[in-house]
Chain A
Amino acid sequence: MVKMTDLPTKGGFSFDLCTRNQMLLDKGVQMPPFRKTGTTIVGLVFQDGVVLGADTRATEGPIVADKNCEKIHFMAPNIYCCGAGTAADTEAVTDMVSSQLQLHRYATGRESRVVTALTLLKSHLFSYQGHVSAALVLGGVDVTGPHLQTVYPHGSTDTLPFATMGSGSLAAMSVFESKYREGLTREEGIELVAEAICAGIFNDLGSGSNVDVCVITKGQTEYLRNYQLPNPRTYISSKGYSFVKGQTVFLEQLLLLVSKLVHVEAIFQLRVDEWQYRINWGLVPCLC
């Protein structure tokens, strides 16, 4: 009789290590900081569709883990989603819903609708009662028109003409509240989104680096990765560090020549055996 633990897992979360981790917590060990996307993410609706924007900094505690990460995730060719919160959660939840949308498109034979993505996201997040920490700005254009929605980690959603999320949301919202109006053109929309993200980048410590923009209109999506680079690295020394060969002292070296392919005829290839040498310092290698 096969025990339940021997069967491969069918997907979903596995809670095997929770008892052990709880025991460690009780002994006073701190949980590690997860990589978060401190973030400023925004979206707005303009006359032809939706513009989404995000910064590109990923933090791990106070340290910048990634200076140029992608926070605008693909959901469907006509739907994109910006994510803030725990990086693993935003990536996993958007990937999962993106796959579900693809299967749904195959089953129905139709373009995906934004409300479908919205319902899939909110029901997943609600069922985990906010422990899956993903705050999302979902935007897209489908047969019913342009849509922009925000999804909170506990599963609540709002439908808005302009939205901001993340630690830099207040800085970005101040820009939107003063400059947004209905019926913006494409260029005005992109400019406003870039300005809002820059407000987040320069005023919020959890956001930084570059501006990513995604413009979705009926039938066409443009993902402008690194649309603005307002923080270039200007202090690089032109010579850089150059280390002389032999500067580092090493005790032992193992050299493996991995499979050399030898052409015998035009058609066949013979693989020569791997050779392995151990070279100790002081001895000269013998190459046959």
Chain B
Amino acid sequence: MSIFEYNGSALVAMVGKNCFAIASDRRLGVQLQTVATDFQRVFKIHDRLYIGLSGLATDAQTMYQKLVFRHKLYQLREERDMKPQTFASLVSALLYEKRFGPFFCQPVIAGLGDNDEPFICTMDCLGAKELAKDFVVSGTASESLYGACESMYKPDMEPEELFETISQALLSSVDRDCLSGWGGYVLLVTPTEVQEKILKGRMD
């Protein structure tokens, strides 16, 4: 059994027209037993930057605490929020530092950069960045997510359509994965508003 399959997770982020959406499942399990159905995997760094952490839940929470700490120090020193590209480099460096004893988590970073340009990126557990222009996926359901996103994604979607697409991709993929699911959580960010929605999914 792989360490990533201990808790189970599914994460996806997609780019739309001047907006982005990041979605996760809500199950926390201990191998095949479900322990929670409202587990938070997507965390806010600042108003326009979110990070989702899949993989081992304890490492995801530790990584999040370290990142919030580093970002708060950055805010104190620079008196502004971090840009998404800078934050991605920070996450990559923190993960690579543990190259020979890594954190077992795979982040998905999504943010709005300068000129409201959406930015998404994912990394493996060692910090190898993958910058994508369309979508990124992570977690135990990642193989199904790759397939669903590859077929359902269209470039330059408006926020409403983006929400529908990412929700359908997430729900259909987690239905094919035993270790993730139990509802969904979608966060849609545009330059003027942030929408959080909890999806109704199969509870098995």
On whether the two chains bind one another, the answer is: yes
- Chain A nearest Cβ from B17, distance in angstroms: 15
Which single member of A66, A240, A254 contacts B195 (CB below 8 Å)?
A254
Contact of A178 with B by CB under 8 A:
no
- Chain B nearest Cβ from A11, distance in angstroms: 8
Report how far A256 CA is from B44 CA in the complex, Å. 13
- Chain A nearest Cβ from B191, distance in angstroms: 8
- Chain B nearest Cβ from A90, distance in angstroms: 8
Q: Which residue of B lies closest to A20 (CB)?
A: B101
B2 contacts which chain A residues (CB < 8 A)? 29-30, 32
Which single member of A20, A131, A258 contacts B193 (CB below 8 Å)?
A258
Find out whether the CB atom of B124 lies under 8 angstroms from the CB atom of A17: no
Find out whether the CB atom of B126 lies under 8 angstroms from the CB atom of A86: yes
Report how far A210 CA is from B197 CA in the complex, Å. 38
Given the contacts A66-B130, A88-B127, A249-B199, A29 and B1 also touching, CB distance less than 8 Å: yes
Find out whether the CB atom of A92 lies under 8 angstroms from the CB atom of B127: yes
- Chain B nearest Cβ from A34, distance in angstroms: 5
Find out whether the CB atom of B128 lies under 8 angstroms from the CB atom of A13: no
Find out whether the CB atom of B100 lies under 8 angstroms from the CB atom of A15: yes
Find out whether the CB atom of B3 lies under 8 angstroms from the CB atom of A30: yes
Report how far A243 CA is from B172 CA in the complex, Å. 13
Which single member of B3, B47, B125 contacts A34 (CB below 8 Å)?
B125
Contact of A241 with B by CB under 8 A:
yes
A232 contacts which chain B residues (CB < 8 A)? none
Given the contacts A16-B98, A88-B126, A253 and B3 also touching, CB distance less than 8 Å: no
Report how far A242 CA is from B92 CA in the complex, Å. 35
Contact with B along A28-41 (1 / 0, CB 8 A): 11111011000000
Contact of A91 with B by CB under 8 A:
yes
Find out whether the CB atom of A86 lies under 8 angstroms from the CB atom of B192: no
B127 contacts which chain A residues (CB < 8 A)? 88, 92
Contact of A220 with B by CB under 8 A:
no
Given the contacts A14-B98, A30-B2, A32-B104, A258 and B194 also touching, CB distance less than 8 Å: yes
B24 contacts which chain A residues (CB < 8 A)? none
Q: Which residue of A lies closest to B126 (CB)?
A: A88
Interface-facing stretch out of B8-16, B78-86, B156-164, B174-182: B156-164
Report how far A91 CA is from B127 CA in the complex, Å. 9
Q: Please report the total number of A residues contacting B with Cβ < 8 Å.
A: 54
Q: Which residue of B lies closest to A274 (CB)?
A: B47
Contact of A63 with B by CB under 8 A:
yes
Find out whether the CB atom of B100 lies under 8 angstroms from the CB atom of A18: yes
Which single member of A69, A88, A258, A259 contacts B99 (CB below 8 Å)?
A88
Contact of A21 with B by CB under 8 A:
yes
Find out whether the CB atom of A29 lies under 8 angstroms from the CB atom of B6: yes
Contact of B71 with A by CB under 8 A:
no
Q: Which residue of B lies closest to A244 (CB)?
A: B164
Report how far A260 CA is from B192 CA in the complex, Å. 7
**Chain A contacts with B in 243-264, Cβ cutoff 8 A:** 243-245, 247-260
Report how far A260 CA is from B124 CA in the complex, Å. 37
Most A C-beta atoms less than 10 A away, residue of B128, B152, B183, B193:
B128
Contact of A160 with B by CB under 8 A:
no
- Chain A nearest Cβ from B180, distance in angstroms: 16
Given the contacts A17-B101, A63-B142, A245-B164, A253 and B130 also touching, CB distance less than 8 Å: no
Contact with A along B139-161 (1 / 0, CB 8 A): 00011001000011010000011
Q: Which residues of A are at the interface with B, using a C-beta cutoff of 8 A?
A: 9, 12-21, 24, 28-32, 34-35, 58, 60, 63-66, 69, 86-89, 91-92, 131-132, 240-245, 247-260
A-B residue pairs in contact (CB < 8 Å), sample of 8:
A20-B101, A35-B124, A60-B124, A65-B130, A91-B92, A248-B167, A250-B200, A257-B192
Q: Which residues of B are at the interface with A, using a C-beta cutoff of 8 A?
A: 1-4, 6, 47, 55, 92, 95-104, 123-130, 132, 142-143, 146, 151-152, 154, 160-161, 163-165, 167-168, 171, 183, 186, 192-200
Beyond A89-B99, A257-B193, list 12 extra A-B contacts (CB 8 Å).
Answer: A13-B99, A19-B101, A20-B101, A21-B101, A24-B3, A32-B124, A35-B130, A86-B126, A87-B128, A247-B168, A249-B200, A256-B195
Ordered nearest first, which 3 A-B pairs have the shortest CB separation?
A88-B126, A18-B101, A87-B128
